[in-house]
Structure 1
Amino acid sequence: MDPIEPVRPFRWDLARGDRLGSLVDGHDTAPAYLDELTDCAAKVLARSADGDLFFVGRSPDSLFDLLSGALSDAPHQDRLDQLPLSLYGLDGQGLDPAERTQLRANLTASGLSPERLARRRRPVVLVDLVLHGSTFTNLHRHLRDWIEDERASWSVIRTKLRYVGITARGKTSPNTWRWQQHEDWVRELPASAVRNVSIPMWLWRYLGNDQPKTALSFRRTRWADPDVTVPRHDEGARAALAEAVAVYRHGRTTAARSRIHRVLTGEPAFREPWLRDLARTLRPR
């Protein structure tokens, strides 16, 4: 049997913004959420346990873009990646053999095979917007099944997996509903492996439901579709690209880097050497 070719949706390299030409003409934008997004991005960094960040699906695109800009001159730049994948709700369950094989090929291409996970020096940190946690739940179960099929060492891999959920901020009380407290698989991981960062409800809804995106949702029906590797040039995609470029460029500003640095210094993890080293790379020169 021929090996399955991985498929990855196309996304422009925002660092080469000057080569995007007319694609973003007429779509100049100054997003109104940059301060809140910057604070969230800083907290994601602080709660990553010095791991490699994988932003799952399209919802956290702007976090990836902002941090890509902020860390563009830092050694941590190669710690950021995107994991284009939609496993939300029932759509992420009951895969047939062909879908499962394609999913594994795509995950392997992203460096997330059981073999690669077991050999990693730093943990993988999966980041996504979370409502009830179904995307993380489905992804974790697919990984666990794959690890079992490959007879890889779960006792090793469990120390290399972390999840950071971006949640909508609500009132805090002892009775507050927290998604991870209702998922059995969370107890398979070390106690600190699942963390959350809360953002205002309006921003959560915008990023998760309303923001224009440069690519279509990478659902199971598209996992093997070569058409997703071709850039979109429709008006919605161009508007999304212009917004992504604006977020990336904001991340490169002194103001954004200073704000990230300030938030990092207030996080409990700042006592750890790795985070202090990271913060130093963001300190205004």
Structure 2
Amino acid sequence: MNRPYRWDLVRPDQLGTLLERAEEPWLWFLDELIECAAKVVARAGDADLYFVGRSADSVHDLLSGTPWRERIHQLPLSFAGARSGLSESDVDTLRGYLASAGLSPHDLARGRPKVFVDLVHSGQTFTELYGLLRKWIDDEREAWSIVRGRLRFLGITVRERTTPSAFRWQQHFDWPADLPANGVRNISLAWPVWHYFGDRQEKLTASFPRPRWSDENGRAPEHSEERLRGLAEAVAIVEAGRSKAGRNLLVRHLRKEPAMAESWLRTLITRLR
């Protein structure tokens, strides 16, 4: 399956003079983004992170400027337009795509745990992805008893008051009960930041729904004003993750997490410092 073209933001030699056409971005959300990124790393555990779609691109980009970059991956996949059901051809295409990303049933049962990260509204994207993986695991006769302990979903939700009546998306589906207690977790963002990332932010790439899965035109870079503004902001976010101030703030938030008791996180903090 095709993948939308995305510039290398860590080694931006290929950008040339592109950024000269875009205004300097205002990272008004940076402090909360850094806190969110710290929680994603700590609460995902000693795992590989797969950022689904585009909504959490900024978390991915911030972490790509840190020593954690070898653990993060993008999965630019949207199930919009596919909820009426996937054809056999669609399923074959998606399986090939996931296998190329290191997410075949064989991969899921071995190596580090795999954690899917996305902004969550209703939970439908995670539900579609889980159903696709679960059927594939059964078809390949991979041991579900092993995979279930290595497969996790981490949702970034809107921050609300913690009350018994608060909306919890995972309670509206049956499949989270098939995973261990830490198989589905959530991190919250203040509404203005969540809304910006999920609905208003100009992204570096176009959305990648079903009609584009086989469209080879999606492989070419886009130079529209919207994409260039998204590019400028993404480059600035990567630089913030590489800066001393950004790393110091990331470390401060990581140290507040219960995972500080684990050696892998202490090692990461040493590398960040």
CA distances 1:52-90 after superposition (whole Å, capped 9, x unpaired): 011100101111000101x1xx2x3210110110025x6
CA distances 1:196-222 after superposition (whole Å, capped 9, x unpaired): 110011111110111111211110111
Query: Which residue of 2 is the match for residue 16 of structure 1?
Result: 11
Query: Which residue of 2 is the match for residue 83 of structure 1?
Result: 75
User: How far is 1:93 from its partner?
Assistant: 4.6
State the one-letter code of the partner of 2:39: K
Task: Write out aligned runs for 1:1-285 (5 A).
Answer: 6-27=1-22, 28-69=24-65, 71=66, 74=67, 76-88=68-80, 91-118=82-109, 120-283=110-273
Contact residue 86 and residue 92 of structure 1 kept, 8 A: no
Query: Which residue of 2 is the match for residue 3 of structure 1?
Result: none
State the one-letter code of the partner of 1:121: G
> Could you tell which deviates more after superposition, 147-156 or 41-50?
147-156
Gaps of 5+ in 2: none
Using the size of structure 1 for normalisation, the TM-score is 0.92
Distance in 2 (CA, whole Å) between partners of 1:142 and 1:282 is 36
CA distances 1:182-236 after superposition (whole Å, capped 9, x unpaired): 2210011111111111001111111011111121111011111111111111111
Percent identity of the aligned residues? 50
User: How far is 1:18 from its partner?
Assistant: 4.3
Using the size of structure 2 for normalisation, the TM-score is 0.96
> Could you tell which deviates more after superposition, 24-33 or 60-69?
24-33
Q: Size of the alignment, in residue pairs?
A: 272
Evaluate the alpha carbon distance shift between residue 263 and residue 222 of structure 1 in structure 2; reply closer, same or farther with a 3 A threshold: same
User: How far is 1:91 from its partner?
Assistant: 3.0
Gaps of 5+ in 1: 1-5
Structure 1 residue matching 2:64: 3-state secondary structure: helix
Structure 2 residue matching 1:197: 3-state secondary structure: strand
Contact residue 155 and residue 185 of structure 2 kept, 8 A: yes
Contact residue 30 and residue 246 of structure 1 kept, 8 A: no
